[in-house]
Amino acid sequence: MSPLRGFASALIALTGGFATTFGMLFKRKPTIEYPSVKKQHAPRFHGLHELRRYADGKERCIGCELCAIACPANAITVIGAENAPGDRRSPGERYAARYEIDELRCIFCGLCEEACPTDAIVLTPRFEMADYRRGSFVYAKDRLLVPPQAGVGTAPDERPNGIPADLGTVAEQKSTVDIATGYDATNRGHILKTERRGLAG
């Protein structure tokens, strides 16, 4: 290859590179102003967990420990206890006296959500969990359980083992691609949808 031909080839490549650079200068930047503007994840995004309630305030979790058994990372600890006649925490005979998820061990696979027979544990679109101490990533019931006013559905006190009539509705609602509908499937998703100052698609 002659020097002139090599120079021409390099000049063409250089011109192409500059054209790409200058072309990007006038396009809309993909950078978002986090945290005032947050990325909009799909409703099916596997983020922070939450424990759901019924509309009357009863906990959906019946302490069956199926989520802990299904968890491949062994991140969930459930210790069940018997419901007292005067203080019923959940439908059925048992409730989760202790429920903890180590979010550092969790791989956010969603198997706990699929294994739950009452739709008690669900993964939400919330992804912000940063902290400075390892112990802060162990989420107990006080941080996982939604407030009583965020409960949905009728508690199935008359049905055996507390199986709800609306079983599977959360997964069905989250399977949409519509952000407004999918985010409303969970309490944290609903809060995340309404608390943002801006949304990035």
pLDDT higher for 43 or 84? 84
Give the helix/strand (H/E) hosting 16.
helix 3-25
For the residues 36-61, what does the mean pLDDT come to? 87
What whole-number distance in Å separates Cα of residue 22 and Cα of residue 139?
48
Most trustworthy range by pLDDT among 13-17, 33-37, 68-72: 68-72
Phi first, then psi, for residue 32 (nearest 5°) are -115, 155
Choice among 106-110, 115-119, 181-185 with the minimum mean pLDDT: 181-185
pLDDT higher for 43 or 114? 114
Are 30 and 125 spatial neighbours (Cβ–Cβ below 8 Å)? no
- Domain 37-200's class? alpha beta
Identify which of 158, 170, 199, 135 has the alpha carbon closest to the alpha carbon of residue 52: 170
Choice among 46-50, 102-106, 174-178 with the minimum mean pLDDT: 174-178
pLDDT at residue 24, as a whole number: 82
Is the Cα dihedral 124, 136, 94, 155 positive or negative? Answer: negative
Strands 94-102 vs 76-82: parallel, antiparallel or unpaired? antiparallel
Q: Is the pLDDT of residue 67 over 80?
A: yes
For the residues 21-30, what does the mean pLDDT come to? 81
Identify which of 95, 126, 123, 103 has the alpha carbon closest to the alpha carbon of residue 111: 123
pLDDT at residue 179, as a whole number: 80
Beta bridge mates, 84: 87
Confidence class of residue 162 from pLDDT cuts 50, 70 and 90?
low
Mean pLDDT, the chain, as a whole number? 86
pLDDT higher for 62 or 157? 62
pTM, to two decimals: 0.77
Which positions ≥6 away from 2 have C-beta within 8 Å? none
Confidence class of residue 3 from pLDDT cuts 50, 70 and 90?
confident
- CA separation, residue 25 to residues 1, 32, 129 (Å): 35, 16, 34
Are 72 and 109 spatial neighbours (Cβ–Cβ below 8 Å)? yes
Are 70 and 121 spatial neighbours (Cβ–Cβ below 8 Å)? no
